[in-house]
Amino acid sequence: MGTVFLRRLSRWQAESERAGIGDLYLAARQDAPGVFPLEREEFVRRLVDEDTGEPEFDMMVAGDPAPVGCVYGFRVDRDGDWWRAFTDVPLTIDELTTSRQVFVIAALLVAPHRRRQGVATRLQRELLARHRAGLHLTLLDPGNTPARTAFQSWGWTKAGQLTPTDGTPPREAWIAT
């Protein structure tokens, strides 16, 4: 296994590299336990049409040189489309959205052959170092034990759940302050 290099992508670069990121998504989610994955095309559509347009969108990609890991996120506020997609937002989280103090990690993906090599740790650490916010938030599928274990090891804690308005199962809200 060679060295993995991290690089930051702008929203436009993320759009231009959507095929490789879509392939990484498919590889990373195919064997994830307890995960309710989107279809590859829906993931790419959401990334390009919705997520890259969010305020302060930021993405890091790990490559060797092909993409083997990716993390991206953005700031959210109470009046944005992202929050309107959920009900039952815990009050402690909701209060911080009024002042745009919540940065969401929307996706963290690592190819199966690069897991347990510190790629995810490096990616999330680098992304969050650039985004000082009152609260960092991510949503996890309840049955995704490997993701829960990783976020716990990084000091994140479960703070409740968010229920999507589209009828899909609730997601666990995990926070790091």
161 is in which domain, residue-wise? 5-176
Please tell me the least confidently modeled range out of 1-10, 43-52, 104-113: 1-10
| Overall number of domains in the chain | 1
Please tell me the least confidently modeled range out of 7-16, 81-90, 167-176: 81-90
Question: How much of the chain, in percent, has pLDDT values that exceed 90?
Answer: 20
pLDDT digits (tens, 9 = 90+) for 69-88: 999 999 887 777 777 677 77
Q: Which residues contact 38 (CB under 8 A, 6 or more apart)?
A: 46
pLDDT digits (tens, 9 = 90+) for 132-156: 787 898 989 888 888 899 999 999 9
The CA R_g of the chain, rounded to the nearest whole Å, is 15
Q: Which residues contact 82 (CB under 8 A, 6 or more apart)?
A: 54, 74, 76, 104
* 110-115 long-range contacts, CB within 8 A, separation 24+: 110/28, 110/62, 110/68, 110/69, 111/24, 111/27, 111/28, 111/67, 111/68, 111/69, 112/27, 112/28, 112/31, 113/1, 113/68, 114/1, 114/4, 114/62, 114/64, 114/68, 114/69
pTM as predicted: 0.86
Sign of CA dihedral 161, 73, 42, 65: negative
Separation in Å, CA 38 to CA 35, 45, 54, 107, 165: 9, 10, 19, 12, 16
Residue 32 in this model has a pLDDT that exceeds 70? no
* 40-46 long-range contacts, CB within 8 A, separation 24+: 44/18, 44/19
Taking residues 17-27, report their average pLDDT. 88
Q: Which two tokens stand for residue 110?
A: 């690592």
Taking residues 1-7, report their average pLDDT. 78
Residue-averaged pLDDT of the chain: 83
CATH of the domain at 99: 3.40.630.30
